[in-house]
Amino acid sequence: MCLAIPGKIVELVAGNPDLAVVDVSGVRRTIDTGLLADEPAVPGDWVLIHVGFAMSKISERDALDQMQTLADLGEHEAALEEVQGYGVLEENKGGP
Amino acid sequence: MRFVDEFRQPELITKAAEEIRRLADPNRHYRLMEVCGGHTHAIYRFGIKDLLPSNIELIHGPGCPVCVLPMGRIDDGLSMTEKPGVIFTAFGDMMRVPGTHGSPLEYKARGRDVRIVYSPMDALKLAQANPERHVAFFAIGFETTAPSTARTLMRARVLGIRNFSVFCNHVTIIPAIRAILDSPDMRLDAFIGPGHVSTVIGCRPYEWIAANEHKPIVVSGFEPVDILQSVVMILRQLREGRAEVENQYKRVVPWEGNGAALRAMAEVFQLRPYFEWRGLGFISQSALRIRDEYADWDAEQVFSVPGLRVTDPKAAQCGEVLKGVLKPAQCKLFGKECTPDYPIGALMVSSEGSCAAFYNYEHRKAVVAAAAE
Look up the CATH number of the domain holding residue A38.
2.30.30.140
Residue B369: the pLDDT is 79
Residue A26 in any domain: the answer is yes
Which residues on B lie below 8 Å from A85 (Cβ)? 116-119, 122
Q: What is the mean pLDDT of chain A?
A: 88
- CA pseudo-torsion sign B10, B15, B18, B23: negative
Contact yes or no for B125 and A90 at CB 8 A: yes
How far is Cα B118 from Cα B341, in angstroms, rounded to an integer?
Answer: 22
Co-location of B335 and B282 in the same domain: no
Residue B316: the pLDDT is 84
Contact assessment for residue B4 and residue B163, using Cβ atoms and an 8 Å cutoff: no
Co-location of B285 and B343 in the same domain: no
Co-location of B167 and B144 in the same domain: yes
A34: containing domain: 5-58
Residue A75 in any domain: the answer is no
B45 touches chain A (CB under 8 A): yes
B66: containing domain: 1-313
Co-location of B167 and B209 in the same domain: yes
How far is Cα B274 from Cα B84, in angstroms, rounded to an integer?
Answer: 31
Point out which residues pair with B60 in neighbouring strands: B34
The CATH number covering residue B79 comes to 3.40.50.11740
Task: Count how many domains chain B has.
Answer: 2
Question: How would you classify the pairing of strands B269-271 and B288-290?
Answer: antiparallel
Co-location of B207 and B332 in the same domain: no
The strands making up B190-193's β-sheet, listed across from edge to edge, are B56-63, B30-36, B190-193, B217-219, B245-247
Residue A51 in any domain: the answer is yes
B335 touches chain A (CB under 8 A): no
Co-location of B244 and B335 in the same domain: no
The one-letter amino acid at B219: V
How far is Cα A30 from Cα A12, in angstroms, rounded to an integer?
Answer: 9
For residue A82, how far is the Cα from the chain centroid? 10
- CA pseudo-torsion sign B35, B38, B339, B54: negative
Which residues on B lie below 8 Å from A88 (Cβ)? 117-118, 122, 125-126
Residue A78 in any domain: the answer is no
B330 touches chain A (CB under 8 A): no
Q: Is B78 helix (H, G, I), strand (E, B) or coil?
A: helix
Residues whose CB is less than 8 angstroms from the CB of residue B373 and which lie 6 or more positions away in sequence, other chains included:
none
Which residues on A lie below 8 Å from B45 (Cβ)? 72-74
Q: Which residue of B has its CA nearest to A36?
A: B260
Q: What is the DSSP letter of A17?
A: T
How far is Cα B19 from Cα B171, in angstroms, rounded to an integer?
Answer: 36
Which residues on A lie below 8 Å from B91 (Cβ)? 1, 51
Q: Which residue of A has its CA nearest to B119?
A: A51
Residue A91: the pLDDT is 46
Tens of pLDDT, residue by residue over A14-51, are 999 899 999 999 999 999 999 999 999 999 999 999 99
Phi-psi region of B8 (alpha: psi -120 to 50; beta: other; left: phi over 0): beta
Residue B370: the pLDDT is 79
Q: Is B177 exposed, middle or buried (0-12, 13-18, 19+ CB in 10 A)?
A: buried
Q: Is B21 exposed, middle or buried (0-12, 13-18, 19+ CB in 10 A)?
A: middle
Give the residue among B259, B275, B249, B256 at the shortest CA–CA distance from B194: B249
Point out which residues pair with B164 in neighbouring strands: B135
Co-location of B258 and B339 in the same domain: no
CB atoms within 10 A of CB B373: 4
In angstroms and rounded to an integer, the radius of gyration of the C-alpha atoms of chain A is: 12
Co-location of B244 and B365 in the same domain: no
Co-location of B280 and B259 in the same domain: yes
Residue B196: the pLDDT is 94
Co-location of B301 and B323 in the same domain: no
Residue A1: the pLDDT is 58
How far is Cα B318 from Cα B327, in angstroms, rounded to an integer?
Answer: 10
Cα separations in angstroms, B319 against B168, B240, B338? 22, 34, 15
How far is Cα B32 from Cα B231, in angstroms, rounded to an integer?
Answer: 8
Residue B3: the pLDDT is 60
Residue B4: the pLDDT is 67
Question: Between the CA atoms of A58, A64, A66 and A70, what dihedral angle is there, to the nearest 10 degrees?
Answer: 150
CB atoms within 10 A of CB B261: 27
Q: What is the ipTM of this complex?
A: 0.91
Task: Count how many domains chain A has.
Answer: 1
How far is Cα A59 from Cα B55, in angstroms, rounded to an integer?
Answer: 37
- Banded model confidence at residue A73, pLDDT cuts 50, 70, 90: confident
Cα separations in angstroms, B141 against B4, B173, B191, B196? 33, 10, 20, 11
Q: Among residues B268, B298, B313, which one ends one of the domains?
A: B313
Contact assessment for residue A54 and residue A83, using Cβ atoms and an 8 Å cutoff: no
Which residues on B lie below 8 Å from A73 (Cβ)? 41-42, 45, 222
Co-location of B89 and B3 in the same domain: yes
**Measured between CB atoms, which of A37, A50, A89 is closest to B196?**
A50
Contact yes or no for A62 and B251 at CB 8 A: yes
Co-location of B250 and B346 in the same domain: no
Mean pLDDT by 10 residues, chain B (373 residues): 69 95 97 94 92 95 91 95 96 92 96 97 96 98 97 97 98 94 88 97 98 97 95 98 97 96 98 92 96 98 87 81 87 91 86 89 80 75
Contact yes or no for A86 and B141 at CB 8 A: no
Residue A89 in any domain: the answer is no
